[in-house]
Chains A and B, each alone.
Chain A
Amino acid sequence: MSSEIRVDEKLVQEIASLARLDLTEDETRVFVSQFKDILDYVSILNEVDTENVSPAYLSSSSKNAPREDVIEVSVPTEEFLANAPESKDDYVLIPRVHIEQ
């Protein structure tokens, strides 16, 4: 796996941008070396023949049991908004999505 992947600062910065993390230069440098170690380590899985194996996404053999979709009283708006950084009337307030150029 990892042998073909070039882990450098550019790759780490690209992933950070996808993950919405604003990494410092120090963090970026440390991640480059730790990523290499960890990706090298997990490449041991290449030894395992999984040609005819189906993936096991769930932890148990039992099936999910969804409930009936019945409308019920949920959270009072006031209590929900108590955790919001900013709110106005019944809404969560966020900063502008676009800034005029």
Chain B
Amino acid sequence: MKLHELTIRETHELLSSRKISSEELTRDYLERIQRLDPQVKSYVTVSEDVALEQAQKADECLKSGEGLTPLTGIPYSAKDSISTRGVNTTCSSKILENYKPFYDATAIKKLNSANSVLLGKNNMDEFGMGSSTENSGFFTTRNPWNFDHVPGGSSGGSAATVAAGLAPFALGEDTGGSVRMPASFCGVTGLKTTYGRVSRYGLIPLVSSFDTIGPMARSAYDVALVLEAIAGHDPKDSTSRVESVQSYSESLKKTENLRGLRIGIPKEYFVEGLDKEVEASVRTAIKQIEGLGADVVEVSLPHTQYAIPVYYLILFAEASSNLAKYDGVRFGLSERTGDLMDVYLKTREAGFGAEAKRRIMLGTFALSAGYYDAYYLKAQKVRALIRQDFQKAFETCDALITPVAPTTAFRIGEKISNPLDMYLSDVFVVAVNLAGIPALSVPCGISNGLPIGMQIIGPHLSEETLLRIGYLYQSQTDWHTKHPPCW
């Protein structure tokens, strides 16, 4: 078996028994990236020097056995919105093209102290605004399963990297489906964490009240290993959760069945517009989960149809505020011409892509005098109703299962000229961000050579339950072990 085919768990066994070194493993991945990524285009930056330096450090740790963790010496990549000290962090925007953070995000810091190895930074839709990576300021990432199709977005580069065997795991970021949707389109396992479970310190914000960092990997077990390394309270993020972090992987080893668990199927997620093959695959997966001992019941989330307009109105408002800081003064692109006002105008015009401008404009409008109550305030009120829908469902259910997306990966170019059509591809994923709850995307089928994913949603801090369902499902099925042709 080749090194890139191994899971984190299997790789760890080889590393800790010293059958391979982290440097060999890292060089193997760097060589694959050099060979395959010109086609997949999942990396914006490959941090070869940093990777080799970290791998040598990991090898010393593996040799002495001191401070050894399941992620020691394991390579990974990170979405380019997560700050990495001394390594370009661009958010796939021209406005940050040459920006080098002088500090690491807390999630990266934690992986550094586990002696993991940073291979590079993944392409994304500019600042996370998009569902396909077509809004990247640099280039479009291709779906490893079919290069004519999108990988999903906005963490499309991270999903494609894991799917193509260009990193064993990646850190993604989910604002409105940005981990789950690309995970589904690329056939990998991705977790949208509870809001606050992983520190946002050093994560360049899109929508501060939705943003979450989450792992993307090849199995629920590997996701659990990464989650327990990066989760936890951080004094530098006042919204991070203080509850202690469970040992997710240990509890997976002990789980045998799903007896006693009640799973709800929200009827509003199985409606017209849902592709027949996607529906059939998700329904088959639900049967298999029932076969593992879970009770399955139908539930209702009556405000589901309002999730997209609520999500986008809040996003426009928060994103336009968060993007105000890119003005050409302290860092990033700066068009030095005329007076200060000219610098603002020219820098922002040259640095932002069409989607970023559209959202800044819509947000500025929604927050402006006279319109605030009708748009932003109204959206926040309907958001409360959507949260209540979930709270009611979780009074009787431990988790909910839905499709991740209404279709498999669409073609590059298919939706880019119609922004509203693109927004609607997020229809099953955004409600989870409005409620701040966690959800796991798990591969559950393939249609016309493209992967299908199911979404397992739970109440706040239910990551252990979600991973347990995913892990047991994956012990009975092999969708997560299937690989694209370029593998």
Question: Residues on A close to B: CB < 8 A?
Answer: 1, 5, 11-12, 15-16, 18-24, 27, 31, 34-35, 37-38, 41-42, 44-45, 48, 50, 53-62, 64-67, 75-76, 79-80, 82-86, 92, 94-99
Q: When the two chains form the complex, which single residue of B305, B332, B383, B420 contacts A56, counting CB atoms closer than 8 Å?
A: B383
A59 touches B357 (CB 8 A): no
Q: B253 an interface residue at 8 Å Cβ cutoff?
A: no
Q: B116 an interface residue at 8 Å Cβ cutoff?
A: no
CA separation between A15 and B336, bound complex, in Å? 23
Q: Determine the chain A residues whose CB is within 8 A of the CB of B487 once the complex forms.
A: none
Q: Give the 4 A-B residue pairs with the shortest CB-CB distance, closest first.
A: A59-B436, A55-B380, A85-B334, A56-B384
Given A58-B209, A75-B102, A80-B102, A95 contacting B340 (CB threshold 8 A): yes
Q: Determine the chain B residues whose CB is within 8 A of the CB of A22 once the complex forms.
A: 345-346, 348-349
A97 touches B196 (CB 8 A): no
Q: B330 an interface residue at 8 Å Cβ cutoff?
A: yes
A20 touches B210 (CB 8 A): no
Q: When the two chains form the complex, which single residue of B239, B336, B341 contacts A85, counting CB atoms closer than 8 Å?
A: B336
Cβ contacts A to B, 20 pairs, < 8 Å: A1-B374, A19-B320, A20-B345, A21-B349, A22-B346, A24-B349, A38-B419, A41-B420, A42-B312, A42-B375, A45-B379, A50-B382, A65-B233, A82-B102, A83-B332, A85-B329, A95-B339, A95-B343, A96-B340, A97-B340
Q: Determine the chain A residues whose CB is within 8 A of the CB of B354 once the complex forms.
A: 27
Q: Report B314 CB to chain A, min CB distance, Å.
A: 9
B381 touches A60 (CB 8 A): no
B343 touches A94 (CB 8 A): yes
CA separation between A19 and B305, bound complex, in Å? 30
CA separation between A44 and B364, bound complex, in Å? 20
CA separation between A65 and B385, bound complex, in Å? 25
B385 touches A38 (CB 8 A): no
Nearest-CB residue, chain A, relative to B334: A85
Q: B365 an interface residue at 8 Å Cβ cutoff?
A: yes
B239 touches A15 (CB 8 A): no
A16 touches B361 (CB 8 A): yes
Q: When the two chains form the complex, which single residue of B334, B338, B384, B434 contacts A53, counting CB atoms closer than 8 Å?
A: B384
Q: B447 an interface residue at 8 Å Cβ cutoff?
A: no
How many cross-chain pairs have Cβ atoms below 8 Å apart between A and B? Answer: 171
Q: B266 an interface residue at 8 Å Cβ cutoff?
A: no
Nearest-CB residue, chain A, relative to B433: A59
Q: Determine the chain B residues whose CB is within 8 A of the CB of A96 once the complex forms.
A: 339-340
CA separation between A18 and B321, bound complex, in Å? 12
- How big is the B interface, by class? 35 or more
Mask: chain B, 134-171; 1 = CB below 8 Å from A; 0 = not: 00000000000000000000000000000000000000
Q: Determine the chain A residues whose CB is within 8 A of the CB of B312 once the complex forms.
A: 38, 42
B238 touches A65 (CB 8 A): yes
Q: Mark out the residues of chain B between 155 and 206 whose CB falls within 8 Å of any chain A CB in the assembled complex.
A: 194-196
CA separation between A12 and B360, bound complex, in Å? 12
B332 touches A35 (CB 8 A): no
Nearest-CB residue, chain A, relative to B323: A19
A60 touches B436 (CB 8 A): yes
Q: Report A97 CB to chain B, min CB distance, Å.
A: 5
Q: B310 an interface residue at 8 Å Cβ cutoff?
A: yes
Q: Report A29 CB to chain B, min CB distance, Å.
A: 13
Q: Report A63 CB to chain B, min CB distance, Å.
A: 9
Q: B235 an interface residue at 8 Å Cβ cutoff?
A: yes
CA separation between A64 and B340, bound complex, in Å? 36
Q: When the two chains form the complex, which single residue of A21, A50, A79 contacts B345, counting CB atoms closer than 8 Å?
A: A21
Q: B327 an interface residue at 8 Å Cβ cutoff?
A: yes
Given A19-B361, A65-B242, A95-B338, A60 contacting B100 (CB threshold 8 A): no
Q: B236 an interface residue at 8 Å Cβ cutoff?
A: yes
Nearest-CB residue, chain B, relative to A59: B436
Q: When the two chains form the complex, which single residue of B210, B236, B420 contacts A38, counting CB atoms closer than 8 Å?
A: B420
Nearest-CB residue, chain A, relative to B385: A53
CA separation between A54 and B384, bound complex, in Å? 7
Mask: chain B, 344-372; 1 = CB below 8 Å from A; 0 = not: 11101100101001101110110010010
Q: When the two chains form the complex, which single residue of A50, A82, A86 contacts B381, counting CB atoms closer than 8 Å?
A: A50
Known A1-B375, A38-B312, A45-B310; further 11 A-B contacts with Cβ < 8 A: A20-B324, A20-B341, A35-B361, A55-B377, A58-B209, A60-B239, A65-B238, A83-B331, A85-B328, A94-B329, A95-B340
Q: Determine the chain A residues whose CB is within 8 A of the CB of B309 once the complex forms.
A: 41-42, 44-45
Q: Report B359 CB to chain A, min CB distance, Å.
A: 10
A64 touches B310 (CB 8 A): no
Q: When the two chains form the complex, which single residue of A11, A44, A57, A97 contacts B380, counting CB atoms closer than 8 Å?
A: A57
Q: When the two chains form the complex, which single residue of B241, B305, B320, B338 contacts A60, counting CB atoms closer than 8 Å?
A: B241
A67 touches B236 (CB 8 A): yes
Given A20-B345, A64-B238, A85-B336, A59 contacting B382 (CB threshold 8 A): no
B336 touches A86 (CB 8 A): yes
B419 touches A34 (CB 8 A): yes
CA separation between A67 and B152, bound complex, in Å? 37
Q: Determine the chain A residues whose CB is within 8 A of the CB of B419 once the complex forms.
A: 34, 38
A23 touches B349 (CB 8 A): yes
